[in-house]
Amino acid sequence: MANLKEVKNRIQSVKSTQQITSAMKMVAAAKLKRAQDRITQLRPYSQKLTGILQNVSSTLGGEIENVYGEKREVEKVLLVVVSSDRGLCGAFNNNVFKATANVIKEKYSYEQKHDGVFILPIGKKSFDFFSKRKYQVIGDYCNMFQELSFDVAREAAEYVMKSFKDGKYDKVEIVYNEFKNVATQVVRTEEFLPIESVAPVKTDATNKSRDYIFEPSAEYVVSELIPKSLKIQFYKAVLESNASEHGARMTAMGQATDNAGELLKALKLTYNRTRQAAITKEILEIVGGAEALADN
């Protein structure tokens, strides 16, 4: 059985750890509120923009000349992997890495053997993970979360779009955590480029395609909407991951705080038992000494 000093030191250590995890939980909760507000405000805009693009595209019969929708034989693939900058968020990062590994194994094993798979990491954890494992890591956007804004995400999206347009990559997919609630994050793998062609959209009332008057032209409007929609889609994935990170960290730190509380109870019980055993031992020694003196 451990002595009193060792148990006492462990109790103090666990208390200090509990204070740290509790503070980190509160910080994560504050950051989560801001991140959650940002993603909930962006979602309706993103969905509406996509809907407008589909409706406008449908008026042209889905035959819009679009460089971002060009289907090519897949030889080079770019995977945009969104992680966090810091740890202590449970399985948040590992889930993304496992999903990325599964995507490569199931869909792009041939391209991987021929050095055709490239990783664009967003978040330091993603950069460190894939760099250490000798993947072909490109881009310089791993520090995006230090000053997360649409301008920063737009630069990364424009780099990806230009690379696809220039033929450097034949396909682009994004792997990230989608925010559901504080305790639930779902790993998503979305095809970013090439964009899927949209089918004509019918109205509920007349069952006919909507008719628009375009100024200056339908082609010009679509050519402006498509890049903007792609940038918004890219930014939305980053915001989803950001909110998911804070939710995962809040949950992990809450569980760590609770576990520290349970450990403290066990340690205090051990401390009391050890203390009582020491007191009992001292009493027995005193009684034994008194009996020895009485016998003399």
Among all residues, which ones are annotated catalytic?
A: 89
CA pair distance 167, 9, nearest whole angstrom: 62
What's the order of all strands across the beta sheet hosting 171-181? Answer: 136-137, 117-122, 77-82, 171-181, 184-193
Query: In 3-state terms, the chain is what percent helix, strand and coil (to 5)?
Result: 65, 10, 25
CA pair distance 33, 122, nearest whole angstrom: 22
CA pair distance 100, 264, nearest whole angstrom: 39
Q: What is the DSSP string of 166-216?
A: TTS-SEEEEEEEEEEETTEEEEEEEEEESPPPPPPPBPTTTSSB-----SS
CA pair distance 200, 280, nearest whole angstrom: 86
Closest CA to 242 of 88, 40, 26, 32: 32
CA pair distance 136, 50, nearest whole angstrom: 32
Q: Take residue 44 and report the two structure tokens written for it.
A: 């309706």
3-state secondary structure string, 161-177?
HHHHHCCCCCEEEEEEE
At residue 153, what is the residue type?
Answer: A
